[in-house]
Amino acid sequence: MRSELQHLLITPSEMTAIDQAAAQSGIESFTLMRNAGLAVTAAALRHFPDALRFLVLCGPGNNGGDGYVAACGLAESGADVAVFTLGNPAALQGDAARARSEWKGPVASLDAIELRAGDVVIDALFGAGLSRDVSGDVVQPIERINASGLPVIAVDLPSGIDGRTGEVRGAAFAARHTVTFMAPKPGHWLLPGRSLCGTLDVFDIGIPPRIVLAEAGPLRLNSPTVWSGWGGDLAPSTHKFRRGHLVVFSGDRQATGAARLAATAGLAAGAGLVTVATGKAALGINASQLTAVMVNEVEGKRDLTKWLQDRRLGSFVLGPGFGVGKKARDFALALCDRSLVLDADGITSFQANREELFAALARGGGQMVMTPHEGEFARLFPQIAGDGALSKIERAQKAARESHAVIVYKGADTVIAAPDGRAVVNNNAPAWLATAGSGDVLAGITGAHLAQGMPAFEAAAAAVWRHGAAGSQAGRGLTAETLIGVIPPMA
């Protein structure tokens, strides 16, 4: 895949526009279909050279056309091929009809499939454009094939997965491999679609990058290209204040550990100085547990207002173990003109006061990153969370616009969205990051990036990526403490 398209995400509607623009530019559309089908042929032969038979399931649209081309390619290579169709193949139109006409072998109805040991299934029924539940006559063969354990290669996307949202529309193939074209779709990386795609191959079928980029939206896969230029090497003259001063607010005596995790992560992630701001009751506990991280007593809003006169305080993390209530709201509102990571209890504190927070952010113009998991997102954005028509990406984008903050919508398929519509989906986080304190570490890394002067969107995207990379490095038995020790350098 060409480098300029490497991290692109294309929605199904954008892919349709790309195909149309390619045709209008003079590229023969059947050439693109042939290239797609032969890419499937190549993938099938590479992944399953010992297959005894390929079962090619062809749908009623262009995805089915890709399947017929793949069937021809496999037969020409000497493979045993059986083709099954959904609907009347005589009703196919355009390129799909032409592809069907080039297949000279028999075609049987989808309900006539007989499965054998050694079969490999090529799913060319629907692809990424599916936006409705599959019908009952499709559910049965999908469930039969899934239950058989036979390997499935999906063309574009496993049939039954909505390419825009990643949702299962009634039933879906569990593919061993998926072959898609030009760029991944959201459904490849959003759950549950992500878990049903198997390994993903992205093939260039000959559409010029200028056409793809002209029709593509602001979606990307999260990678170091997103924050390129913001995480450079340290200059010889750098000192600790130039590397940024991060402040993490601690909760009361019984809930200080989360703040210490965030603070220690922030120091490891590159902040020059880190201070835990704590009430008097927890001052001794925090001081006895910290060494390189400093401690400062901040009892209430008056102390905070006075302390904020020091403009060297670069960024703030509020929420981990802090406690839910008015104090959290007062502190957050006082920081809406600064760089702030609002996490955990800080988010929940605004469940009934969200409009006050959003208005303060609009006025203050600061750099805020909010890091909700599913439950916290629903508490702060109940209407958006309850809109089942939206994908996770679209929910994050809408929440970012409404709140005037960068949203890190956490999960195995974390989405980072900016108020201006930019969004990235993260795909490097291992499942074992789901452990106590992991989110506190992420908040600290994000705060360190803000302290160093990174814009909120880039700071959040880089933090999520480094967090995922650290999780892979730490391994299955990681704890939040061991995670901090393997945060990788800024890429």
| pLDDT one-digit tens code per residue, 392-410 | 999 999 999 999 999 999 9
3-state secondary structure of 382: helix
The number of C-alpha atoms within 13 Å of 88 and in the hemisphere containing its C-beta is 3
Which tokens go with 462? 């880089």
Q: What is the dihedral of CA 147, 150, 156, 161, to 10 degrees?
A: 10
Number of H helices, E strands in the chain: 20, 17
Distance (Å, whole) CA 297 – CA 365: 27
pLDDT band at 194 (very low <50, low <70, confident <90, very high): very high
Q: Of 83-92, 176-185, 223-232, 393-402, where does mean pLDDT reach its minimum?
A: 223-232
pLDDT band at 238 (very low <50, low <70, confident <90, very high): very low
Q: Which of 432, 407, 437, 433 minimizes the C-alpha distance to 419?
A: 407
What are the tens digits of pLDDT across the range 407-455?
Answer: 999 999 999 999 999 999 999 999 999 999 999 999 999 999 999 999 9
CB 161 within 8 A of CB 191: no
pLDDT band at 237 (very low <50, low <70, confident <90, very high): very low
Q: Is 13 exposed, middle or buried (0-12, 13-18, 19+ CB in 10 A)?
A: middle
pLDDT band at 230 (very low <50, low <70, confident <90, very high): confident
H-helix or E-strand containing 399?
helix 392-403
pLDDT in the model for residue 232: 52
pLDDT in the model for residue 236: 40
Residue 172 has pLDDT above 90, yes or no: yes
Residue 308 has pLDDT above 70, yes or no: yes
CB 224 within 8 A of CB 409: no
How high does pLDDT run on average in the chain?
Answer: 95
Strand 81-85's sheet: what is its strand order?
107-109, 81-85, 53-58, 119-124, 152-155, 177-181, 199-203
DSSP letters spanning 42-100? HHHHHH-TT-SEEEEEE-SSHHHHHHHHHHHHHHHTT--EEEEESS-GGG--HHHHHHH
Q: Please give the distance of CA 259 from its chain centroid, rounded to a whole number.
A: 26
Q: Which residue has the tokens 């079969």?
A: 119
CB 319 within 8 A of CB 291: no
Residue 2 has pLDDT above 80, yes or no: no
Q: Report the chain's C-alpha Rg in angstroms.
A: 26
Distance (Å, whole) CA 481 – CA 472: 14
Which tokens go with 149? 């354990």
Residue 173 has pLDDT above 60, yes or no: yes
What are the tens digits of pLDDT across the range 243-285?
Answer: 799 999 999 999 999 999 999 999 999 999 999 999 999 999 9
CB 247 within 8 A of CB 315: yes
CB 56 within 8 A of CB 40: no
Which tokens go with 242? 């130039």
Which tokens go with 187? 């459904």
3-state secondary structure of 385: helix
Which tokens go with 241? 């204040």
Alpha helices in 77-157 (DSSP H): 94-102, 136-148
Share of the chain above pLDDT 70, in %: 97
Q: How many beta carbons lie within 10 A of that of residue 234, not counting itself?
A: 11
pLDDT in the model for residue 131: 86
Mean pLDDT of 80-87: 96
| Phi, psi torsion values for 52, nearest 5 degrees | -80, -30
Residue 224 has pLDDT above 50, yes or no: yes
pLDDT in the model for residue 5: 87
Q: How many beta carbons lie within 10 A of that of residue 6, not counting itself?
A: 13
Mean pLDDT of 325-343: 98
Q: Please give the distance of CA 340 from its chain centroid, rounded to a whole number.
A: 22
Contacts of residue 68, Cβ cutoff 8 Å, sequence gap at least 6: 37, 56, 58, 83, 96, 99, 100, 102, 103, 124
pLDDT band at 490 (very low <50, low <70, confident <90, very high): confident
Q: Which of 155, 250, 137 minimizes the C-alpha distance to 201?
A: 155
CB 286 within 8 A of CB 260: yes
pLDDT band at 234 (very low <50, low <70, confident <90, very high): very low
pTM, two decimal places: 0.95
Q: Which residue has the tokens 């593509």?
A: 216
